Amino acid sequence: MKNLLKIFTLASLITITSCDSFLGDNVNPNDATSATPELVLPNALTRTASLLRSYNTSAMWINGYTVNAGGFGGWGSVVTYNYTTDSYNGTWSATYDDLINYEYIINTTAEDPSKAYFNAVARVMKAWDFHMLVDVFGDVPYTEGLKGAENVTPAYDDQVA
């Protein structure tokens, strides 16, 4: 038993004294800490194209361009118009995620004349994303919606204004 206690004490001592140097080496050099507008814009544009497809598919069912084929219920609440607070939640979140990318581009290129085209494209696409949101959801947080942690409960702007 005394030998077991000595081994445990020795192992504990080695473990305690060796942790500082071991934990300090845990840095991933491949982990990106920042991105440039040149890298963010192509991803944001691709995301907008994907969102457009999602909005168009949903609108075809909602507006009656595509109809229920004799009782086929594979589309769930879209076909039966049985919407809940969870309906289109993914579309809402994905659109605001895309809008955050455009807002980042606008903010980081505002003072750089060599990046004026990035700024212009981001402004147009930001308007497009908000256009899709307003067409589907009505009132949306536009003015305060992209403030992040500064404002976690943004006011909804009137869709007509």
Secondary structure class of 86 (helix, strand, coil): coil
Answer yes or no: are the C-beta atoms of 48 and 131 closer than 8 Å.
Answer: no
In angstroms, rounded to a whole number, what is the distance separating the alpha carbons of residues 95 and 128?
A: 10
- The residue range of the domain holding 88 is 37-66+74-150
**Residue 6: inside a domain:** no
Provide the domain count of the chain: 1
| Least confident span in 16-30, 102-116, 121-135 | 16-30
Q: Give the pLDDT confidence score for residue 121 in this predicted structure.
A: 97
Q: Taking residues 68-90, report their average pLDDT.
A: 68
Helix (H) or strand (E) holding 24: helix 2-24
Return the ∠ at Cα 33 (arms to 18 and 142), rounded to 5°.
135
Residues facing residue 140 across a β-bridge = 157
Q: At a CB cut-off of 8 Å and minimum separation 6, what does 15 contact?
A: none
**Residue 122: inside a domain:** yes
- The whole-model pTM stands at 0.72
**Residue 89: inside a domain:** yes
